[in-house]
Amino acid sequence: MGYGFPSGHCTGGCETDSDCAGGGTCVPVIGGGACVAPCESAADCRDGYKCDTDNTCWPGCTSDAQCPAVGTCSAGYCEAPPSPDAGPCAADDDCASGFCITEAEYGFPGGYCSGYCEPDGEACAGGGACIPTEDGGGFCDVPCAISADCRAGYTCQEGLCEAACTSDAQCAIAGATCDVGSGFCIPPAGEGADGETCTADTDCMGLYCLSEAEYPQWVGGYCISLCDPATGEGCVGGGVCADNGGCYAACASDADCRDGYECWKGGCWPQE
């Protein structure tokens, strides 16, 4: 079966850009990853190809049938579907369940898709199972029996695929430490309190940034921390715990919020 690539396209399987010879870029496709040519404009691409919004050369298309390798045709581009739980990612919007544990910040090879969930609520959008946590919440993941069930760079620990960091030296961000028990590289917390501006998770006390680049309604970016709505506890950034488990800058009126935000249920939210 064809894949909609004019004149064919030589590539190799990959999980990260470093797997691509000749300076290629690793992008998600159905069944794994593929190395494609990087670009700055259409002039950098072969005939029949366009420079996509992620600066890679992709074939132009007019229907989904021309994109069996990468999902759907949108505005002339073949777009990959969101990664499933445990799949590779570089940002939250790459993941069906909405959260990317990135390689750059947490040391997870190729990134790792997950999401927050309620154990007794809806199923994970990325097809994984909702794994309960001690605070009553949950996260989306794909259970494993042995390490062979996991992607390269991961091991099966207590039934879940975890990044295999064993020392701080394996963590990419300066000052990050390896939590050997979970396999997570934990970045150093920033100084941004709940509600302050940010561009990256490491800008925030709670290590979570709703960046304007990914979420345009959060003007200037917005630091949050995570909490338990049942108890209201967990707001390390000094905010107020909302029903969705996020901590937001506390307020009594709109005047207490920064520009672009309004006071709703005691917390500062983007203006509608």
User: Tokens 């040391």 — which residue?
Assistant: 107
What pLDDT score does 61 carry?
72
* Same domain, residue pair 151 and 208: no
Q: Quick one: 105 and 129 in the same domain?
A: yes
- Comparing CA positions, the residue from 74, 14, 77, 87 lying closest to residue 42 is 77
Give domain status of residue 197, yes or no.
Answer: yes
Number of structural domains (the chain) is 3
pLDDT at position 127: 82
pLDDT at 261: 97
Distance of CA 8 to the CA centre of its chain: 31
Whether pLDDT at 68 is above 70: no
Instruction: Please report whether residue 85 resides in a domain.
Output: no
pLDDT for res 3: 47
Residues 182 and 194 in one domain: no
263 is a domain residue: yes
Is residue 144 domain-shared with residue 201, that is, in the same domain?
Answer: no
Q: Are residues 193 and 169 in the same domain?
A: no
> Do 167 and 194 belong to one domain?
no
Q: Confirm if 149 and 156 have CB atoms less than 8 A apart.
A: yes
Same domain, 171 and 202: no
Average pLDDT over residues 2-13: 59
Residue with tokens 């499933």: 84
Query: Is 87 a member of any domain?
Result: no
Domain assignment of residue 8, yes or no: no
205 and 169 in one domain?
no
Tell whether 2 is covered by a domain: no
Final residue of a structural domain among 156, 186, 216? 186
Same domain, 97 and 157: yes
Please state, in angstroms and rounded to a whole number, the distance separating the CA atoms of residues 272 and 255. Answer: 16
Query: Per the domain annotation, does 200 fall within a domain?
Result: yes
- Same domain (yes/no): 241, 173: no
Of 63-72, 78-87, 92-101, the range with the lowest mean pLDDT is 63-72
pLDDT digits (tens, 9 = 90+) for 152-185: 878 787 788 877 677 787 676 678 888 776 666 7
In degrees, rounded to 5, the angle at the alpha carbon of residue 123 between the alpha carbons of residues 213 and 137 is: 75
Please check whether residues 53 and 107 belong to one and the same domain.
no
pLDDT at 2: 40
Check pLDDT > 90 for residue 255: yes
- Residue numbers of the domain that contains 41: 17-79
Residue 34 pLDDT exceeds 60? yes
The residue from 56, 79, 102 where one domain ends is 79
Task: Show contacts of 263-268: CB within 8 Å, 24+ apart.
Answer: 266/240, 267/239, 267/240, 267/242, 268/195
CB atoms within 10 A of CB 182: 14
Question: 73 and 104: one domain?
Answer: no
Task: Give the separation between CA 110 and CA 14, rounded to whole angstroms.
Answer: 9
Residue 33 in domain: yes
User: Looking at 186, 217, 241, which one is the last position of a domain?
Assistant: 186
Residue 113 and residue 95 in contact, taking contact as beta carbons nearer than 8 Å: yes
CA-based nearest residue to 34, from 112, 88, 96, 84: 88
More confident residue, 146 or 70: 146
